[in-house]
Amino acid sequence: MQITTGKGINQLRLNERIEQLSRIGRIGETGVCRLALTPEDMDGIIQVRLWMEEAGLATRIDPFGNLIGRLEGTDPTLPILMIGSHIDSQPYGGRYDGAIGVLGALEVVQCLMENGIQPSMPIEVIAFCDEEGSRFNKGLFGSRGMTGQLEEGELERQDKNGVTRCEALQAFGCSVEKFAEGVYATGSIGSYLELHIEQGPVLESLDAPVGLVTGISGPLWLTVTIKGMAGHAGSVPMAMRHDALAGSARVIAAFDDMVRADPDAPTVGTVGSLRVFPDSRNIIPEEVSFTVDLRDMEMERRNQLEARLMNVLDEICSQHGLTYSLTEDTNSEPRYCAERIQAAIRSSAEEMGLPLPELMSGPFHDALALSHVCEYGMIFVRSKDGISHHPSEYSSPEDIALGTEVLYRTIRQMCSRLPADIESSD
């Protein structure tokens, strides 16, 4: 089957922007470190904002640190069509995670303008602040902020250097006193679309450059703190120890075993961060904190695993004379993409002669936050070897261009058709 992009996006311009942005916060040959609300993040925002303004968009940075570029529609009373992603990264991340969604969205809107297409509704291109959550251990900050979903205590969260999110926002030039002004009114956002690398191996296994996302699995993030008693590593007998790290290791191993128990289930579980106190070679660890990331498309199964983890914590801490506490950092149910937007994406791919496998997203995205206030859709681009959150993360320029072209054609459809029009034609 012949795959064509036709007259649409400017692949060269898109690729050059992706490469230029990847140089900001560069680690080694291909790695990127642009932690949220850092000078590197600001440098990235400044560059993307410049491109937005060159394209003719009106730009602003809202109180939550989101960069927003706006194209007015013929009817300003219609709900906004949003497109975007994020440009913050993991500490040891890659060039494409989030970035292709922001720059792809900009390319789409710039092509609309160059082709003389004015949308009926306003379109906003957004680079959301702190999607990753790697600095303050809770992500989707900008997208949750603008949709009124922030929780108590978020501004007091600290990074590993003791800097609070509030302090980081203020250093970024954001006024936390104006949060209320940055929240979008109910019903003012009509739809949200996001282009993103898959971050997994499914599309590559199917030899497909682009995929249609049908939903996002529900993430549960916990922080577990286990406490014991410090002592000299050379003088306290093994039978008399209350070693917080040894107990934590047993909990972590048991958690990994339980998540792997059903190889046919899409469940995934990860312990990705661990802190030890006092963190000395010859002192028995007194306190250990570690993160738990548990995701599944079925809430019943995820809840059962969470309950089993609580039982394991009780049993192991009791056996080793330890105590534990935990905090819930994120808890979301699976969210499914709007069928009318999926239909528009499918028809756009059909125009191009492009096969479009359908798959769920294990990672969460800003679309997860937007799904609570509007309809949403997502397009995935193939990831080489399924690798992401690593400098070797790679999606080819050709695949990114195809995904962006599908997004462009989808947005072009939605520019001239209201929700009622699309529903009546389904």
pLDDT in tens, 385-398: 999 999 999 999 99
- Spell out the residues 6+ positions from residue 262 whose beta carbon is closer than 8 angstroms to its own: none
Between 335 and 102, name the one with better pLDDT. Answer: 102
- Spell out the residues 6+ positions from residue 116 whose beta carbon is closer than 8 angstroms to its own: none
Tell whether the model's pLDDT for residue 419 goes beyond 80. no
Tokens standing for residue 91: 């500490």
Angle between helices 99-114 and 39-55 (to 10 degrees): 10
- Spell out the residues 6+ positions from residue 226 whose beta carbon is closer than 8 angstroms to its own: 244, 247, 248, 251, 287, 288, 289, 313, 317, 322, 323, 324
Distance of CA 328 to CAs 252, 292, 343, Å? 17, 10, 36
Tokens standing for residue 323: 């105590």
The Cβ of residue 152 has, within 10 Å, a number of other Cβ atoms equal to: 6
What DSSP assignment string belongs to 379-415?
EEE--GGG--SSTT----HHHHHHHHHHHHHHHHHHH
pLDDT band at 4 (very low <50, low <70, confident <90, very high): very low
Among the residues of 189-294, which ranges form H helices? 202-205, 244-260
Mean pLDDT, rounded, for 205-216: 96
CATH number of 11-217+334-425: 3.40.630.10
- pLDDT given at position 7: 67
List the domain boundaries for the chain. Answer: 11-217+334-425, 218-331
Distance of CA 315 to CAs 226, 240, 275, 350, Å? 13, 18, 22, 55
Tell whether the model's pLDDT for residue 1 goes beyond 80. no
- pLDDT given at position 6: 46
320 is in an annotated binding site: no
Which residues in 322-357 are b (16+ Cβ under 10 Å) and which e?
A: bebeeeebbebebbebbebbbbbbeebbeebebebe
Tokens standing for residue 135: 């600095």
pLDDT in tens, 338-374: 999 999 999 999 999 999 999 989 888 999 999 999 9
Residue labelled with tokens 């978020």: 154
- pLDDT given at position 364: 83
- pLDDT given at position 417: 57
Mean pLDDT, rounded, for 267-294: 96
Mean predicted lDDT score pLDDT of the chain: 94
pLDDT in tens, 249-259: 999 999 999 99
User: Which SS3 state, helix, strand or coil, does residue 270 take?
Assistant: strand
Tell whether the model's pLDDT for residue 424 goes beyond 70. no
CA-CA distance, 102 to 59, in Å (whole number)?
14
What DSSP assignment string belongs to 119-186?
-SS-EEEEEES-SS-TTTS---HHHHHHTT---TTGGG-B-TTS-BHHHHHHHTT--GGGHHHHSPPT
365 is in an annotated binding site: no
pLDDT in tens, 131-169: 999 999 899 999 999 999 999 999 999 999 999 999 999
> Which amino acid type is present at position 226?
I
Distance of CA 43 to CAs 25, 34, 47, 101, 161, Å? 9, 9, 6, 18, 21
372 is in an annotated binding site: no
Residue labelled with tokens 């995670």: 97
pTM above 0.75, yes or no: yes
pLDDT in tens, 58-85: 999 999 999 999 999 999 999 999 999 9
pLDDT band at 217 (very low <50, low <70, confident <90, very high): confident
pLDDT in tens, 85-134: 999 999 999 999 999 999 999 999 999 999 999 999 999 999 999 999 99
Residues in the chain: 426
User: Which SS3 state, helix, strand or coil, does residue 325 take?
Assistant: strand
Q: Percent of the chain beyond pLDDT 90? A: 89
- pLDDT given at position 8: 87
CATH number of this structure's domain 218-331, picked from the four choices 3.30.70.360, 2.60.40.10, 3.40.50.300, 3.60.15.10: 3.30.70.360
53 is in an annotated binding site: no
